Amino acid sequence: ANYGFPEDFDALQASGVSVEGAIVLMRYGKCFRGLKARNAEGRGAVAALIYSDPAEDGFGQGSVYPEGPWRPPSSVQRGSIQFISLCPGDPSRAYLPAGASEELCGYSQSQLIPTIPVLPLSYADAAPLLRSLGGPEAPAPFRGALNLTYRLGPSAGGVRARLAVRNRFEKGPVWNVIATLRGTLPEAEDQPILLGNHRDAWVYGAADPNSGTSQMLEVAKGLGALLKRGWRPRRSIVLCSWSGEEYGF
């Protein structure tokens, strides 16, 4: 289903391909992964797979790791697939009384996360599934950079896929570290300046937050040196080291 846009599903339907009761294969890019899951679910899919096509994130862009910065064949992009376009933030609203989520943003927790299983795939693992597809040849906007004929589906030759997930719903603490430099302005006139960055990584070894965190720490060191000399800002400055950046993940 290409990028999983509504118009991509419309194109499949116009070609006589129904995704109802099927596992939908989509590629990363162009829109948030949660929208891809939501669109597949809304069209009646029983599950979804989202893979990184090398056209956008791999050898189609340049040399792959370790020779270059682009995604190698076995690499998988992970991330939250909750429906943040409906209501962002912790979908459980764990800090509020039970049922308060719906009152706060108009949706319950069950409406903010997919009801179908969804898994990410590398392009090495997506290739056999793409090769198994029958149906009409995909139009140019649906094609990626893999050395195969992209087709719209469904699977040909009786090929079936079985998808299993082992998800656990758990609540955990989120630790935000906040440092406040009080300004000289009266509280009624103060307009605090917030500078923040998340410091949590999605998985072990991830470098996602480190560049922003290092810059914020350097700013903090500079402000600390000024404070030791007796300097005070007019407006309050708040430095925020956020945890829980990828809520719902």
pLDDT in tens, the chain (249 residues): 999 999 999 999 999 999 999 999 999 999 999 999 999 999 999 999 999 999 999 999 999 999 999 999 999 998 889 998 888 888 877 777 776 777 788 888 888 889 999 999 999 999 999 999 999 999 999 999 999 999 999 999 889 999 988 888 877 788 899 999 999 999 999 999 999 988 877 666 666 778 888 899 999 999 999 999 999 999 999 999 988 777 766
| pTM, two decimal places | 0.84
Shortest CA distance to 80 belongs to which of 38, 40, 41, 108? 38
> Catalytic site residue 245?
yes
Shortest CA distance to 146 belongs to which of 161, 133, 163, 165? 133
Please give the C-alpha separations between residue 190 and each of 112, 185, 194, in angstroms, as whole numbers. Answer: 37, 5, 12
Half-sphere exposure of 130 (CA within 13 A, CB side): 26
Residues across the chain: 249
Catalytic member of 67, 170, 218, 245 = 245
